[in-house]
Amino acid sequence: MEALASRRSTRVYTPRSRTPRSPTGSPTPARMASSSPPVAGTSWTAEHVMAVGRDSTDRLVEQPADTPGRYATVFSMRAGEAIAFVGIVDVCVLQGMATVYEQCVGARWQRVYSPTSHPLASIRAISDDKETGEADDGEIDAIRALWAQRAGGVVVVVRTVQCGLESLGRVSPHADVFKLRPLAQRLRAQGGAEDSDVEAEVRLNAVLGMPGFAPVLYVTTDLQLLRVPTDWTQVLERSAQAPVQLNAAFAQVPPVYVVAGAQGLGKSTFARLLTNQLV
């Protein structure tokens, strides 16, 4: 069995000199102008992190936090914190309430795709006073047992995924949309990089990053951060509460939604959020 170790840090991954901008009037998650400073994509206090791997018998075990190629990462978050990322992972919540793409995540695996070609997904901690219930999954139960006796908060698990899409870059460099370029390269296109910013994102990925999961500290001009306007949220909530429609035979009729608007207003993004809300 591999050596066991835990990691505890009080480092705060919140950019000091750059603060998130408030959403604009347009619902479009538009790219920022090249003259704008990077927007903070992650605000997270790294109190408790656990790396999970497999031993020689394929059993899930805790690993040293700096082990490369880990299978999963477990971390706690405070309500109001968020972690934006690039990649493909399965996500579940062991304790509390968190959302991804405005959809609540519970104690079961949910596949999340966050390519650089679209607004980035963010794991957002909502509340730490909600019980997620028992998981009908042996891996989740095993990870929960490894995490036992640690502090509370919103406890999130991300695990690596091998679905084939992560290898798009082998076909074409332009298709490598699930890989995050180093922050130094991204900031260079904006007229320079601050060493402290680059080091902070490197440390963040050393703590949380793993194959298929690259946390983003700064959303530079080549990336987009998903922003959901208030009117979108209201429509999504109403759609979830819509009454069931029945036909003449009293059989349930699937709902039909029409999303209309001019080019560039976010129709595809809204449709994805609506789909997540309904399934």
CA 14, 67, 157: angle at the middle one, nearest 5? 60
pTM of the model: 0.74
How confident is the model at residue 248, as a pLDDT?
A: 85
Residue 86 CA to residue 14 CA, distance in Å, equals 18
How confident is the model at residue 20, as a pLDDT?
A: 38
How confident is the model at residue 173, as a pLDDT?
A: 67
Mean pLDDT per 10-residue run, the chain (279 residues)?
40 46 39 52 84 92 83 93 94 92 87 90 87 74 88 90 79 79 80 73 89 90 82 81 82 85 83 77
How confident is the model at residue 3, as a pLDDT?
A: 38
How confident is the model at residue 27, as a pLDDT?
A: 40
- CB-neighbour burial class of residue 112 (10 A; exposed 0-12, middle 13-18, buried 19+): buried
E strand spans, the chain: 7-13, 39-40, 42-54, 60-63, 72-77, 82-95, 97-100, 103-105, 110-114, 121-127, 154-160, 213-216, 218-219, 245-246, 252-253
Q: Are 215 and 85 in contact (CB under 8 A)?
A: yes
How confident is the model at residue 160, as a pLDDT?
A: 92
